Amino acid sequence: MIELVLGGARSGKSRHAESVIRSCPGPWTYIATGRAWDEEMAERIALHRADRGDGWVTVEEPVDLPGALEKAEGQPVLVDCLTLWLTNLLLENHDIATATDALMQIMERRMAPLVLVGNEVGLGIVPENALARRFRDEAGRLHQRVAAKADRVVLCVAGIPMTIRRDA
């Protein structure tokens, strides 16, 4: 079972994703892709960790997400989130297509439950900043590819998970 959980800022994405993984027998692995670039980011990461509670093995992996998933094979895994992973790939000049291909291969082989969280960022006005435009395009492409390999895709709005695709 692979689920992609999309949503806007503070839409309840992580909480929903955690509840999906918690419904599986543990131990649960949490792959945190965020880098604490600045204080605001460090605070967000700490807040998320406190919200999460006990019972999680946390793995911090800002770049090699496919590798981290391979190591956690056989365990329920929550990836939080694709957006920060993509940010790191972009800012550190990794090849995004290659990294996404590797993620696709892992997803194809994956048997244990996997939930991936992503920020939907493409529904506002076109950003004036060229890097933000590129990021928005890359995020859209990544979400499309991950969605195509997921058994269920959910969009969270105001804390409510709307199922937008579920395979029988």
Tell me the pairing of strands 2-7 and 114-119.
parallel
Closer Cβ to a copy of itself, 111 or 130, answer by number: 130
Of residues 39 through 68, those in contact with a copy of itself by CB under 8 A are 40
39 is in an annotated binding site: no
Q: Report the nearest approach of a copy of itself to the CB of residue 9 (Å).
A: 4
CB 66 within 8 A of CB 102: yes
* Amino acid code (one letter) for 33: T
Is 16 noted as a catalytic residue in this protein? Answer: no
Round to whole Å and give the CA distance between 108 and 149.
Answer: 7
Q: Any contact of residue 91 with a copy of itself (CB under 8 A)? A: no
Residue from 165, 134, 161 nearest 11 by CA: 161
Nearer CB in complex with a copy of itself: 65/84: 84
Chain positions 117 to 156 lying near a copy of itself, rule: CB under 8 A, are: 120-130, 132-133, 135-137, 139-141, 143-144, 146-148, 153, 155
- Nearer to a copy of itself by Cβ, of 55 and 127: the residue is 127
Nearest to 94 by CA among 126, 129, 65, 130: 65
The SS3 assignment for 22 reads: helix
Quote the CA–CA distance of 86 and 161 in Å, as a whole number.
23
Residue numbers at the binding site for a copy of itself (CB under 8 A):
4, 6-12, 40, 120-130, 132-133, 135-137, 139-141, 143-144, 146-148, 153, 155, 157-160, 162, 164-165
Instruction: Just list the catalytic residues.
Output: 48
